[in-house]
Amino acid sequence: MPVVLITGCSSGFGEALALAFATHGYRVVATLRKPEAASPKLKALADEKPDDFLFASLDVASAASRKAAVDFAVTRFGRLDVLINNAGVGARGAFEDTPESQWRTMFDTNLFGPLELSRLVLPIMRAQGGGRIINVTSVAAVLKTPLMAAYCASKHALDTATAALDIEARGFGVRAICLMPGPFKTALPQKSLDREASAPYAAIAAHFNATFDAMEAKAPEDLTPVIDAALAAATDADPALRYPAGVDAIPILPPILQALAPLQPIGLHLTGQG
């Protein structure tokens, strides 16, 4: 049975992906900061499949925690076929109002954590002769969204690094892929590191937040497009670089993503289109 390690499984995409991959015949290492706080669904699955569904503590911003999680997976299962870097954090705030410390927090979680986990699993996957690294980015990776500069920049950097890694690693049978979700209802907004706008940006922030909140209120709760895209990214014989999911909710995105197709050798998979 193939083995997948998934980060950020406390809720949302991570929880859904852990359940889906277990259902599709994978041994799963579901990681989160506090495994004891896992959802009832995940705990029930761990009880049902104690040899094939395991929890591991992971703070993606901690080097020691990253190494311990990867070592745990390989020690228990002897291999690691798929890494899904899903853990992430959002933030709203004007560029001028966002201090260096918050930029570093965003990049530690959204960029450096996934990159370092990827570095840890590459020797393992090379020795196996294959593997998949799936980095959950966002439609924000290709947008320049006001009041979300740090988030967009971190996701764009991860998208670019993934594209470079895929070229470097494919000769070893290892592929690096971006899973690019559109808007869905998850816990990300509740955990967002938002900053109150200072006076010069108050008006634009009020307009942006009202628009953004309205979009999030209408976001779909069904995460099936994300699950389908992730399973395709893990199993397609010759995967695309980017697997968008739910991008039809933002009409401007399909043309932008199609324009990126020349960066991919086999075109673009638009999963979840209505």
Catalytic residues: 151
Mean pLDDT of the residues in the chain: 88
- Rounded distance between C-alpha atoms, residue 237 and residue 37, angstroms: 36
| pLDDT tens track for 108-122 | 999 999 999 999 999
Q: Which of 134, 166, 157 is nearest to 266 (CA)?
A: 166
Pairing mode, strands 82-85 and 131-136: parallel
pLDDT in tens, 203-238: 888 887 787 777 777 766 889 999 999 999 999 999
pLDDT of residue 271: 44
CA-to-CA distance for 4 and 139, rounded, in angstroms?
24
C-alpha angle 165-170-174 in degrees, rounded to nearest 5: 85
Q: 260: which 2 tokens?
A: 């990126």
Which amino acid would we find at residue 144?
Answer: K
Q: Which CATH number fits domain 3-263: 3.30.420.40, 1.20.1250.20, 3.40.50.720, 3.40.50.300?
A: 3.40.50.720
Rg, the chain, Cα only: 18
Q: So where are the chain's domains?
A: 3-263
**CA end-to-end span of the chain:** 33
The number of CA neighbours under 13 Å toward the Cβ of 171 is: 3
> Can you give the pTM of this predicted structure?
0.88
